[in-house]
Structure 1
């Protein structure tokens, strides 16, 4: 009995240590995610590396080097959900602020909207076991419609803090305005926190996806975005803009959540009344009603 008692006590102790270790790991995860908030000078770099087209007239996308100033606002901070809104600063007045992409981080999330192709996302679920200890990064477009999402564990080792995942996504704006020869960008996203900010590396595959799910690799691309932290005062106009406009965008997010909770595939119209969704939402006044927001979003969802 004494031996059994010792084994039982040791097991309880190990469980206790394990639970504590998991709590500490999660705290490190949260710290890494939140460290992406603030004011950043950003360098966007993209280059098409390999092409596999058999067309002798095939032309690669031009190499892209751009810089920008971006404010990343913490808009939701819960134990299992952290939401970061990016605001692009293109000038010196509030009129130059562009509501940019949003990233939500969900702990041990099991519900996913996986990009298929064109304007369709398929709902699917993973088991709790498959996402144990992991964080899902859900990335949204400027109108808060879905873009891409994937799950993985944050890694903290040898003084490094990073997260990596591969998932399918629509064409980025830099591509869909000049390309129509592929319809899926399979992204390997790598986020690493650094001493001066963070890095978003991408190894992307440009894929032609047909109706039956057959994929043809057209080309590959390298992305290297460097976020260098600067004093928050440099992003004051973005902070002021968000204070004035955050209430209407909260209504937009809440309406999208109504859509997501249905747990059904989503297909969106590219245009309604000859306008893309983001233009209609960008035109809303800060005091727009929930009903007005809902009516606009619902008009773009294919029944």
Structure 2
């Protein structure tokens, strides 16, 4: 009887391990399916207003579109990194905006959770809490942190999606225009569909301080669609990355060294009245580790 029980335990263990590996393979396929060339529609609308200020003005509805290349930067068994590059048409030809970056890590336990006012709290989760999950880390255009969260990819009824709720700084579209809230509680859903993928968002606009409870100001809906088009349409972005990827690898390496300190992080918004990405876009003066590393250090409190 004892041998039978041991055999059943072994069979169940092998089955569970096989399922986990098969599930992980599907997860990786879903994540990497977000790479490629896409026509993107960005849509945001404020849905509900909870402000008690009679002069409150809701954010304007935003509709925008663009062509975006999502470059596979790194791909290992437990980690995938993808850089978004926006192609902006101008009279002088395509202009490339190094857009956001998303990194994915399997069963990661260490997160930087946004607090408020350019501060992130370092958090360590129990091993069992992240079993089978993927952490998505999202970075700013200068590769500084934005937000991150962990959840499971779900593959059911022909759908593949990942959904998580986590705090984040204000979105770029409102960073310089709104001061009545300082945290965006983001519910992000990434869903892979037949013609590309969807970034679906339900966001709370929150005013947070060290001395009082969070105050909900308003809520908004975001619905961004990425429709796959031939890779050739994104050649200008591919060329940009070929020419500039080594520099941005140095930037990522420096930020990784900062993150590896595994302690709370606070960043300066400006140094000498200038934001970080404007320094880094200066390729003449900031293209080596000798110039990039002390620059990033200057922004870390």
Quickly name the TM-score band, shorter chain normalised. Answer: over 0.9
Number of positions where the alignment pairs a residue of Structure 1 with one of Structure 2:
300
Q: Do the aligned residues in 2 keep the contact of 1:94 with 1:241 (CA within 8 Å)?
A: no
Separation in structure 1 between the aligned mates of residue 128 and residue 76 of structure 2, nearest angstrom: 22
Query: Which residue of the partner structure matches residue 223 of structure 1?
Result: 222
Which residue of the other structure, out of 63, 72, 77, is the alignment partner of 1:74? 72
**Residue equivalent to 1:39:** 37
User: In structure 2, how many angstroms separate the alpha carbons of the residues matched to 1:44 and 1:203?
Assistant: 14
Structural mapping, 1:210-289, within 5 Å? 210-212=209-211, 214-285=213-284, 288-289=287-288
Q: Is residue 87–residue 94 contact of structure 2 (8 Å, CA) maintained in 1?
A: no
What is the deviation of 1:124? Answer: 1.0
State yes or no: 1:10 paired with 2:21.
Answer: no
1:98 alignment partner in structure 2: 97
Structure 1 window deviating more from structure 2 (260-269 vs 187-196): it is: 260-269
Per the alignment, in what secondary structure is the counterpart of residue 7 of structure 2?
helix
Alignment of 1:118-133 (within 5 A): 118-133=117-132
User: 1:245, 1:286 within 8 Å by CA — same for their partners in 2?
Assistant: no
Structure 2, unpaired ranges of 5+: none
Residue number in structure 1 paired with 2:59: 61
Per the alignment, residue 198 of structure 2 pairs with 199
Secondary structure in 2 matching 1:18: helix
Q: Distance in 2 between matches of 1:52 and 1:16?
A: 52
2:279–2:286 contact (8 Å) kept in structure 1? no
1:291 Cα deviation from its structure 2 partner = 1.7
**CA distance in 2: counterparts of 1:203 and 1:243, whole angstroms:** 35
**Alpha-carbon shift at residue 299 of structure 1 (Å):** 0.6
- 2:19 paired with 1:21: yes
Contact 2:285 2:291 in 1 (8 A): no
Q: Which runs of 5+ in 1 are unaligned?
A: none
CA distance in 2 between partners of 1:277 and 1:287 (Å): 11
- Whole-angstrom CA distance in 2 between matches of 1:103 and 1:129: 24
The aligned residue for residue 187 of structure 1 is 186
Report the CA distance between 1:25 and its aligned residue.
0.1
CA RMSD of aligned residues (A): 1.3
Runs of 4+ in 1 over 6 A off after TM superposition: 92-95
Moved more, 227-236 or 5-14: 5-14
Superposed CA deviations along residues 193-215 of structure 1, whole A, max 9, x for unmatched, are 00000000000000000123520
Report the CA distance between 1:94 and its aligned residue. Answer: 7.2
Is the 2:280–2:286 contact (alpha carbons within 8 Å) kept by the matching residues of 1?
A: no
* TM-score in terms of structure 1 length: 0.96
Deviation of 1:43 after TM superposition, in Å, equals 0.3
CA contact (8 A) 1:247 1:286 kept: no
Alpha-carbon distance between aligned partners in 2 of 1:181 and 1:279, rounded to the nearest angstrom: 26
